[in-house]
Chain A
Amino acid sequence: MSDSASLYEKRKGVYPKAVDGFYRRLKWAIMAVTLAIYWGTPWLRWDRGPYAPDQAVLVDLAHRRFYMFSIEIWPQEFYYVAGLLIMAGVGLFLVTSAVGRAWCGYACPQTVWTDLYQHVERFVDGDRNAQLRLAKAPWGAAKIVRRLFKWSVWLGIAFVTGGAWIFYFADAPTLQREFWSGTAAWQAYATTFVLTATTFVLGGFMREQVCIYMCPWPRIQTAMLDEKSLIVTYKHWRGEKRGSLKKAEAHPGEFGDCIDCNQCVAVCPTGIDIREGPQIGCITCALCIDACDKVMAQVGRPRGLIDYCTQDDAEAEQKGAAARPVLKTLLRPRIIAYFAVWAGIGAAMLFALGARDRLEISAQQDRNPIFVRLSDGAIRNAYTVKLRNMEARPRSMEVGLDGLPGGRMWTDAGSRESAAATVRTTVPADSVAKLRIFLTLPSGGPARQDFRFTVRALDREGGSASEPARFERP
């Protein structure tokens, strides 16, 4: 069947032209900042004293700790990370409803690295036209040399990209030494290899295919945009009917501002024509705005034929209203509501982080046997008590009983002869002490007695915690 070929579509090459302008410079700045954060963060140091790593941001999977500057997260506090993810989600809602797909256009790693790769491409092969010529040229020595050169630069970038990731999970300077001397864990090499490969393929070859076919986010974002969101808009009521400068001069009044120079298409990194209206391929990188503004300046027409504009404003403008400044579109209830939720979660998390306990106790009673009768008739219950010292220094602590008069206890380091109403221990820095506590009471008494295990830090800073428990008799 002649139709079968159209079931699958060959990727159309995209060779975006270099462009300069306000948004291009903004993109350069954002690229510089995001890449600096990505590559620089693991190398920042943060003094936490002798008992904790000095890496500012560290995901220590082996010891189940997450360090972020002055914050240290234990596994049971993982809800802070969940909170961060919720903030990131709400933050995307906020950004999307305010400035449309700004995440896609400016900050998404796929966009940033594709942008970087395209810059390399222009450096090696030349601008759009040279690239097009080279793509059509037969494979000869010159083309092979150029391709190999370009791919090796890409591969170099991919390698430092994939290689940087592992430094978030171990002490960066140490891991770097281990990595080059071949003594690092195989996971470090495997991670570097996989991320190098994905960066190379996704940034060098897949590019806009990732945004159009693989990424779910454009679908979600298009559903979240409304008629008050900023999108890149071709003002067709001003541009149509398109015609070259010559035609327009020959027939004044018949043509719009668009001179059909195709610059907006030439610079587009996803290869679309913005003049066809809003579409899923548009990542709102705004490079077409830069390109069009430049052309409009050259032909002496006002800028903004292609511009950030909401759908509502577009309709108003068609009816003759003046263009609204971009900033004025930002203040509306939906955005304020999103911002309030986002800031609320952030403030709640900050408060919780500031007020959280760095000392915790938990107690688990032996269930088999529940109680043991001792030779003098007393009844003994046993508990596994865990003391969590989340400070980066060893702390001396005292475990006590609240609501169990006459209770005498000892740990497996002591004996019944040393039994007392309290037990003292030193919990090492940043760790959990597991105490096996034997607790006795005379046999006469209720079958069940509820009480609390308490723990009190004995150093100057103090602090205490308690945990409900139960004493059981025959």
Chain B
Amino acid sequence: MSLGAYVGRRLLHLVPIALGVTILCFFLIHLVPGDPARTILGNQATDQRVALLRHQWGLDRPLPVQYGKFMGRVVHGDLGTSLFYGVSAGRLVLQRLPVTLWLIGFGALLSVLIAVPLAVIAATHRDRLPDHVVRAVPLVGLGFPPFWVGIVLLLVFGLHLGRGFPVGGYGNGFTGHLHSMFLPALTVAFGISPILVRSLRASLLEVLESDYVVTARSKGLPERRVLGRHALRNAVISTVSVLGVNIGYLVGGTLVIEQVYALPGVGQLMINSINQRDFPIVQGVTLVFSVMVVLVYLLTDVAHALLDPRVRFE
């Protein structure tokens, strides 16, 4: 099967997954106590007023009917209208999507840049001091929750050490984004890179004992080339999958980080909308998130196949 056909077929899998996610999300949010009409009208509003608004929004209809109407619109690319902003929920989500994509992409890049050298140092100094340090320190780091790491980074680099980085916001233009998003991305990287280091170190150690590394050494190649062309090239194959799974997790983790750094991303929109019971937006964001996770997994599989010629597209 060609790469194109494979991607096409995998994209078809997206349909049932998205369907399942929307069902789950739709019914879950209606289980949450609290009513958008009551929230918007306030506690003083009469029951008739609230009931009228609920009727206008269609919230008094049975849930399956509401779901059917929701899905009918989704198929046409319409996520509904925000109950609070009065504009298209899809537009709102799309407007904020670039911020979140920046955060995820930049964070993943930084975590790779941190993890690869550390894993190489650890694996090539197996059971010696550098290895112990590389293994112990990130493990401690993994114990700190991202919101705490984010706040500490903000305090240290944003306020105390020369205020080199903005304490919030998304910045303007590419370099502006790069500058503003550095600390948030670093927070993301601190969460992922310990896992990457562990995985890459383990697979490097395995690969370094393999026969083909002995073959590479028997050619009299410089150790740098043995490591880069032979060992690392094989070791990253399994780590790519680990990275993919963690980026999948990260899509949800952006909620917290966007909140800490006041980033106008999808995660922040999600939190505000949950507080306001803005159902169309919550549903829209969930749908977008689930599509993103599936796409990340697909991308991971494609990357895996491109890195490993033994993998067939099936």
Whether A and B are associated in the same complex: the answer reads no
**Which residues of A line the B interface, CB within 8 A?**
none
